[in-house]
A and B are shown apart, each in its own frame.
Chain A
């Protein structure tokens, strides 16, 4: 077939599926062994693991991208950041969602791609780590109650931990909020593309009961703010998945940072809409992200809005996140 024919025929998904049916047999044989080996309980994929262990610190740092935010949002975020910096606090290692990478193969030139293959392991680590942190935070209920009453007296900030970062929604059982099977099932729903709003119309309120990636929520007015975004500046696009929690008025968000890391945002009231802004606020060469949940129908945003600061440690490449008090 000539190049002209190639260009004159627009291929679609079905053509691709048909063509995949005729790909080289050695490729199929590899996948066949992959499937069969797993079914037989073999540890498939271990052969390539040693070459997949890479350092995300070697990843090419992409150009920072900023997304536009409403003035009100920027003001709130700035307030949160200023509050944090004023208190001279660092990210709390104890309460962070940490993706533990093994950084041994610094020679790999495909570190970003290879890191993808660690998505599962990393996400599980992150979920488990965060679940532990959330559990610890939840157990500190007396202290949290004091915090919400504006009493910081029992907080010791001298060790560099960000006490306010331990905050989670005190009305919820945090240990049940992260990395659950329900999230996976909800994720699968996005395949069906079942949007509850009409195509072509956009609204700030369109998220409703939507479960799926925000960049696919085409009826939502802020959809484009999440499309093809590289929030952490690592050169790989990032996505945000929204899970509307069935049987409750809560929603959760999952940041998929492209390199295999996943950050779970604690559940919040479902009418809020998320925004992300990024920038190198502490001048460490890594972009920090500010993830906020806005409630534009509320008059007292200091009491209703939620803001989290998400940071990546330049040394070990781990992500940490903490809630900022407004």
Chain B
């Protein structure tokens, strides 16, 4: 079913919206969740909660792109779960590895007392990504939004892992430089 029709079902408060969403996007959403929480049960919980969030958010929201709309919800839910669990035990997941990689280029030496306006930071990152080649941009997003393992990205792109790793390293360096020029303290 087309996304537009699925959204219409949400707006009509038709419960088939959830089943259609599940049919079309459950695998995609489960992958996003699993990449962050690295746990099947938690992943399933994230995906189910995603349907619920989407159900509650629409009809107010009418997403143009249902896939990315749902993906964002799942990612945020998964990160919330990850944070809760990592407070008990920091487990190595693609999400934590992604943070570690970004920490390499972004100084974490100072304690943040005031919360940085993430929207401004998001906009800066969006602008940065728009200036990159399509391939690099997609690799970056696959890694840091979808938290895809480097091995998977390499398979998808047909590159060797070292090549993907090299591209990511340069993109992180470029992002750091871009943010610095934009006035962020990095």
Measured CB to CB, the residues of A under 8 A from B are 1, 3, 5-32, 34-36, 38-39, 44-45, 47-48, 52, 110, 113-114, 116-117, 119-121, 123-124, 127, 179, 183-184, 187-188, 191-193, 239, 241, 254, 256, 258, 260, 262
Q: Which of B9-17, B37-45, B46-54, B106-114 sits within the interface?
A: B106-114
The CA-CA distance from A313 to B102 in the complex, in Å, is: 36
Offer 25 A-B interface pairs, CB within 8 angstroms, sorted by A. Answer: A5-B117, A6-B120, A8-B185, A9-B115, A9-B185, A12-B106, A12-B108, A14-B99, A14-B102, A17-B95, A19-B124, A20-B144, A21-B122, A24-B126, A25-B65, A28-B65, A32-B68, A32-B71, A34-B141, A34-B156, A35-B156, A47-B134, A117-B135, A184-B160, A239-B166
Chain B, range 109-152, C-beta contacts under 8 Å to A = 109-110, 112-122, 124-126, 129-130, 133-138, 141-142, 144-146, 148, 150-151
List A contacts of B103 (CB < 8 A): 12-13
Query: B154-186 toward A: CB 8 Å interface, digit per residue (1/0)?
Result: 101111111111110110000100010011111
Interface size on B, residues (CB 8 A): 78
Measured between C-beta atoms, what is the minimum distance from B146 to chain A in Å? 7
List B contacts of A9 (CB < 8 A): 112-116, 185
Asked if B159 and A10 make an inter-chain contact with CB atoms under 8 angstroms apart, the answer reads: no
Chain B's closest residue to A35 (CB) is B142
Q: Pick the contact of A28 from B112, B134, B145, B148 — CB < 8 Å?
A: B145
List B contacts of A38 (CB < 8 A): 156-157
Closest 4 CB pairs of A and B: A120-B159, A119-B163, A13-B102, A13-B103
List B contacts of A193 (CB < 8 A): 100
Measured between C-beta atoms, what is the minimum distance from B92 to chain A in Å? 7
List B contacts of A116 (CB < 8 A): 136, 166-167, 170
The CA-CA distance from A24 to B64 in the complex, in Å, is: 12
Chain A's closest residue to B119 (CB) is A22
The CA-CA distance from A6 to B120 in the complex, in Å, is: 9
List A contacts of B26 (CB < 8 A): none
Count how many pairs of residues, one from A and one from B, have CB atoms less than 8 Å apart in the complex: 224
Asked if B116 and A119 make an inter-chain contact with CB atoms under 8 angstroms apart, the answer reads: no
The CA-CA distance from A120 to B186 in the complex, in Å, is: 31
The CA-CA distance from A302 to B165 in the complex, in Å, is: 36
The CA-CA distance from A36 to B169 in the complex, in Å, is: 24
Measured CB to CB, the residues of B under 8 A from A are 28, 64-65, 67-69, 71-72, 75-76, 79, 92, 95, 97-104, 106-110, 112-122, 124-126, 129-130, 133-138, 141-142, 144-146, 148, 150-151, 154, 156-167, 169-170, 175, 179, 182-186
List B contacts of A48 (CB < 8 A): 133-135
Asked if B162 and A183 make an inter-chain contact with CB atoms under 8 angstroms apart, the answer reads: yes
Q: Pick the contact of B106 from A16, A26, A123 — CB < 8 Å?
A: A16
Chain B's closest residue to A179 (CB) is B160
Asked if B122 and A23 make an inter-chain contact with CB atoms under 8 angstroms apart, the answer reads: yes
Asked if B67 and A32 make an inter-chain contact with CB atoms under 8 angstroms apart, the answer reads: yes
